[in-house]
Amino acid sequence: MTKGKQLFSAADIDGAVGKIASGIGDEFKGDFRECALVGIHQQGVPLAERICRALEKKFGSAPVLGKLDISMYRDDIGNRMRLPPIRETEIPFDVNGSSIILVDDVLSTGRTIRAALDALTDYGRAGLIRLAVLVDRGNPEFPIRADYVGFTAHPPEKMKVVVRFEEDGEPGIYAVEWKNQNL
């Protein structure tokens, strides 16, 4: 992948994860017994893991962690030339009545979050759902807003915001030229 223009560094990401964790911890008053973080595949999962570690460090406990694949819930599934890779969904708790924080790397159009809400309701009826994102582009196509935000960024519309963690190499948040290769 072409690196693109760096918007935020790896150190900035660490600070934003701490900010998100503080917001979650404050809302739930450090009591995560009825709470779960659910990372949306692909980059929402490592972000949720980082938030859990930050909560554990700051509050001495962390919510249970789940992973959600939304591939078959996307509204563009019929427009793609090939099917997206299917990843494992792991929901190791009872969704019914739980407080769930959906976690994703970038809120852009809101379509991913809409699909995640559809997928999550197949597992039960949550008591409360919040959204945590590392980057909010601030102009969704759906009426979806994040409750916990690390950064707000407004690169040109033709640019995609890409989050890369240490395990991806070249950690940071980048604006790269958008080339939709799935259609």
Domain boundaries, position 104: 5-74+86-177
Residue 112 placed within a domain: yes
**Residue 15 — very low, low, confident or very high, per pLDDT cuts 50/70/90?**
very high
Residue 117 placed within a domain: yes
Query: What pLDDT is stored for residue 63 in this prediction?
Result: 97
Residue 91 placed within a domain: yes
DSSP, residue by residue, 37-101: EEEETTTHHHHHHHHHHHHHHHHS---EEEEE--GGG-TTGGG-SSPPPP---B--S--TT-EEE
Residue 80 placed within a domain: no
Residue 61 placed within a domain: yes
Residue 81 placed within a domain: no
How many domains is the chain partitioned into structurally? Answer: 1
pLDDT tens sequence across 120-177: 999 999 999 999 999 999 889 999 999 999 999 999 988 999 999 999 988 999 999 9
Assign residue 116 the CATH number of its domain: 3.40.50.2020
Residue 150 placed within a domain: yes
